[in-house]
Amino acid sequence: MDTAIQYVGIDVHQSTLVIVVLEGRGRTIMETTVPTERRAIEQALRGRRGRVWVAFEEGTQAQWLYEVVSPLVERVIVCNPRERRQSENKSDSIDAHGLADKLRLNALKPVFHHSASVETLKELVRSYESLVRDSTRSKQRLKAIFRGRAIDTPGDGVYQAKTAGELLEQLENKGRKFRAKLLIEQIGMIEECRDQAYEAMVAEARRHRAYKILTALPFFGPVRSAQLMAIMVTPFRFRSKRQLWKMSGLSVVYVGTADKTFVEGKLVRSKRPPMTRGLNPNHNHVLKDVFMCAAHDASCRPGPLKTFYEATLARGIKPEMAMLTLARKIAAYTLRLWKKGETFDPSKLTMSTS
């Protein structure tokens, strides 16, 4: 029985896939280009005998390709393209060879893709978030029209066709007035679709067991809870809170060098502390927004989390770092309760910041 592993690297494009297969010593066994179709992919991989490992980069088609490839091979790794450095020469073949070779050397960091259980919720959350962004963008464009003519537009009345009549009359230019009317109509239609997306998203979120646990947390309503479930999928993918902090962009990046030195012939650790370089830039922006917004709300309203925030400030920590500490505290507490299936208990909230 042949137990040798074949390492497959796939360079993914909209219409084609470049597939390269390497043996354990790095010799190229096969290189081919197939259309980006399920049948062609299945034919290319089913012809490989023995153990097959596959690697490709995260992208628009990554989830679909993961679902197609997973039943056909022993292991699938979807890697983060940001972890790969650009070489001097670049082509589809070089990229596929590079992926296969790094897979052979175990030098790829996988991206989590076991999300079939929340696939519907993911799409509904994306729909709601897109409509919220579109609504905000249209409102900003509308206010910019009036601001450009030095017309004050306090409140939300300018967004409603019934209450924006007087403001529209102040726009003398016909083209400018026509554009403002279209934007008001657009905002109305977007908000109607947004309400429908919200109802569908919340209805789907309630079907999951984690919904009751997350909504019981302070400052976590239906939207933030649905976003957490769609992004995190399961709390057990995180071994510790620090992994969640890194994914959420709440992890501090340290840079150090010459960590150890010789003193009287003995190797000792240097007393020079590592330097900080801010928070990790490679993270999920929605997840960071959820925890930071929850921390901001908690710091403004009475409760144990505000007490924790004020105690952090009392120790001489800067406000922005105290807010970060509070967000990390909320993220860690959310992960622990979700794993244990427990509800929020203020009496168990500790003052520790680690």
pLDDT at 1 over 50: no
pLDDT at 262 over 80: no
In a 10 Å sphere around its CB, with 0-12 CB exposed, 13-18 middle and 19+ buried, how is residue 162 labelled?
A: exposed
What pLDDT digit, counting tens, does each position of 136-169 carry? 999 999 999 999 999 998 888 899 888 888 889 9
Across the strands, what pairs with 28?
22
pLDDT at 14 over 70: yes
The whole-angstrom separation of Cα 123 and Cα 201 is: 9
CATH homologous superfamily for the domain 5-104: ATPase, nucleotide binding domain (3.30.420.40)
Q: For position 185, what pLDDT does the model report?
A: 95
Percent of the chain with pLDDT over 70: 95
Taking the whole predicted model, whether its pTM rises above 0.85 is answered as no
Q: For position 254, what pLDDT does the model report?
A: 79
Confidence of residue 273 (pLDDT cuts 50, 70, 90): confident
What pLDDT digit, counting tens, does each position of 42-96 carry? 999 987 888 999 999 999 999 999 999 999 999 999 998 765 555 557 788 888 9
Q: What is the mean pLDDT of residues 245-263?
A: 83
Q: What is the mean pLDDT of the chain?
A: 90
Beta-carbon contacts of residue 250 (< 8 Å; ≥ 6 apart)? 279, 283, 288, 291, 324, 327, 328, 331
The whole-angstrom separation of Cα 322 and Cα 329 is: 10
pLDDT at 269 over 90: no
- Residue 257 or residue 94, greater confidence: 94
Percent of the chain with pLDDT over 90: 68
What pLDDT digit, counting tens, does each position of 276-294 carry? 778 888 899 999 999 999 9
Amino acid occupying residue 51: R
In a 10 Å sphere around its CB, with 0-12 CB exposed, 13-18 middle and 19+ buried, how is residue 176 labelled?
A: middle
Q: For position 86, what pLDDT does the model report?
A: 57
CB atoms within 10 A of CB 291: 27
Q: What is the mean pLDDT of residues 105-109?
A: 88
Q: For position 100, what pLDDT does the model report?
A: 93
Q: For the residues of 143-192, what is the DSSP string, one character each?
A: HHHHHHTT----TTGGGSTTT-HHHHHT--SHHHHHHHHHHHHHHHHHHH
